[in-house]
Amino acid sequence: MPAERFPTDAALDRWDFQLLPDGLIYRSYLAGMKEPRFAGMWVHDVDQGWLLEAALGGRMGVLRLGTTDARRPEGWEIDVEGAVFPRFDTTEDRNLVSADYRIGVPLTFGIGPFQTKLAWYHLSSHLGDEFMLAHFGAERINYSRDAIVWGNSFYLTEDVRLYAEAEWAFYTDGGSEPWAFQFGIDYSPAEPVGHLRGAPFVAVNAHLREEVDFAGNLVVQTGWQWRGQSGHLFRFGMQYFTGKSDQFEFFRRNEDRLGLGIWFDF
C-alpha cells in the first residue's frame, strides 16, 4: 500500500522528538522592534529626517518534543536567535548611524492557544564609524545587557494574539538598567495563503524600560501579509513609532517616526 503523501491529523497531533523542526512554538511579536527577522524600513523622523532601518537575522528551532504541525506546533522547544539592527542616515550618503546586536536562546512551551517562553539574550549597541567622523565630538556609550526574559502569549482567536513579557538583566552597562516590560496585540490571519490576494494585518507593541523611568516606545504597524505553509510570514505596510529611541546608543532621545516597511518573519 503506498505511503500517504500528506500527514494525517493524527500524525500532526502526535508528540515526537524533532531535530531542526519546522515552524516555531513561540513566534516573534509583529511590531516588536528587537525581534529577529529580515526587514527594511524607510522612515521619516521629525528631528532627523529620512532614515533607513533594517533587521538582519532570524530565529529557528533546534530541538522539539512535540507535534509536527508547522503552523501552530505544541510541545517543548529550544530555539536560537540572532540579529543585527542597523540604522542609516539617507541624507549623508547612507552613513551607518548605529547598530544594535542581539543573540539569544529561548526555551518555549505551547499547548492549545497558550505559549510561554523563558529566554536568555545578550544585546550590545555600537555607534557607526561614519557617524562619528561626520559628527565631531560624538561620544559612544557602551550600552549592553544580558537578560532573562519570561514571556506569555494567548490566542483569543485563530487570528488574534495577546502577549506580555518581563525581563530582568543580570548584567548592565552604558546606562542600561535591569527591568523592562513589553506587551501588545497582533491581528494576523493564521491560515496559509495559496494565492496572491493575501490578507490584512494590524500589530501594536509597547516597550517600557527602567533606564528611562519606565517610559519607552509605542509601535503601530498595519498593512498586507502572505503566510506560507510553514508559517513563514511576508508583510509590507506602514509603521509609526513614538517614544524613546530603540537604537540604544541614543536610548534617552525622543523619536517620532512614520514610514513604510517590509518584514519577513520566521
- Calpha distance 30→118 (Å, rounded): 19
> Is the pLDDT assigned to residue 2 strictly greater than 50?
no
- Mean pLDDT (the chain) is 92
Kindly state the average pLDDT of the residues 199-215.
97
Check pLDDT > 70 for residue 230. Answer: yes
Per-residue pLDDT, 140: 86
Q: How far apart are CA 186 and CA 201, in angstroms?
A: 8
pLDDT on residue 1: 39
Percent of the residues in the chain that have a pLDDT greater than 90, as a whole number: 80
β-bridge pairing 49-66 and 75-89: antiparallel
**Where residue 100 falls among pLDDT bands split at 50, 70, 90?**
very high
Tens digit of each residue's pLDDT (9 = 90 or more) over 6-34: 455 555 678 999 999 999 999 999 999 99
Query: For residue 209, is pLDDT > 90?
Result: yes
Q: Which residues contact 159 (CB under 8 A, 6 or more apart)?
A: 187, 188, 189, 190
* pLDDT tier at 195, thresholds 50, 70, 90: low
Percent of the chain at pLDDT > 70 equals 93
Per the structure block, which three cell numbers stand in for 160?
488574534
Q: Delimit the domains of the chain by residue range.
A: 9-265
Average pLDDT on 105-124 reads: 98
CATH code at 9-265: 2.40.230.10
Q: What does the block give as the cell for 249?
A: 546608543
Alpha-carbon distance of 117 to 73, in angstroms, equals 14
Looking at residue 6, what is its pLDDT?
Answer: 42
d(C-alpha 134, C-alpha 66), whole Å: 53
